[in-house]
Amino acid sequence: MKIKLLLLFFGLLSVVACSNKSGTGKGAVGSGSEKLTAEIDSVSYSLGVDVGNSLKQAGFEEMNLAAFSDAINTVLNNDSVKIKIEATRPIITAYLEKAAKVKGVKNKKEGEDFLAENKTKKGVITTASGLQYIVLKEGNGPIPADTSMVKVHYHGTLIDGTVFDSSIDRNEPAEFPVNGVVAGWQEVLKMMPVGSKWKVFLPTQLAYGENVRPGSKIQPNMVLIFDMELLEILPPQQQEQQFNPANFKTK
């Protein structure tokens, strides 16, 4: 996330600087009601949408737009910047690290509170690891081993109901080795008979913890909820095929 965002910032400054040299104007801050009549107007607006969306995904919930615009205009006008470019990277990185830490603490507390209440609900089973699950349908097939290759349908949400990934929505079951996924899934799959449907609640330590994918809806220390259906254990010839992580997208 940090590297991508830093490259975005410096790429933006390079683009607008080049645009200025080619005679497209000094980049004055507009009122927000400009008409997109010329090609460069649409390009400029598209660049703003791209930057704004990336900032939002990166976790910038606060932004001093006046300072942001001032910096861009300063570069466009070839004036002296208030913060040298070599000093901007450490500032941005430090901010992102601090913001991630604050979010992680908040998410961990919310997750713990959610699981504490959830474990008291009817049908919820809690294991020694802290994993929770509800048996929606009990299958009567075999139970996977650690090295089994399985086919699973799943629907993943956050505790607020936000969907972050779903093979069900894609209508494309995932195939992967049991020992190739997060700890919580490994524990669940080695308890599920084929044909079972379970609702599973993964504590952060059994999911992704602080190691989340940049741009993902999953933030550090979030509890994850899955509706899982174990469709089958694949035969040996298919189990020998190389596992392709791109086919499994819960990160």
- Note the pTM of the prediction, 2 decimals: 0.71
Tokens of 122: 């009817």
How does DSSP classify residue 130? S
* Residue 88 is assigned to a structural domain of this protein: no
Beta strands in 34-178 (DSSP E): 125-126, 132-137, 149-157, 163-166, 174-177
Say yes or no: 27 and 116 in one domain. no
Domain edge (last residue) among 48, 82, 116: 82
- In this structure, is residue 136 part of a structural domain? yes
Q: Is residue 115 part of a domain?
A: yes
Residue 78 and residue 134 in one domain: no
State the pLDDT at residue 251: 42
The predicted-structure confidence for 145-173, as pLDDT tens digits, reads as follows: 999 999 999 999 999 999 999 999 999 99
Domain annotation covers residue 211: yes
Structural domain boundaries enclosing 166: 108-247
Query: Is the same domain home to 46 and 117?
Result: no
28 exposed, middle or buried (CB, 10 Å; 0-12, 13-18, 19+)?
Answer: exposed
> Which CATH number characterizes residue 239's domain?
3.10.50.40
Secondary structure class of 174 (helix, strand, coil): strand
**pLDDT single digits (tens) 63-108:** 888 888 888 888 888 888 888 889 988 998 888 888 888 888 999 9
- 147 lies in the same domain as 225: yes
Q: Are residues 139 and 231 in the same domain?
A: yes
Nearest alpha-carbon partner for 219 in 53, 108, 98:
108
* Number of separate domains in the chain: 2
Q: Are residues 229 and 174 in the same domain?
A: yes
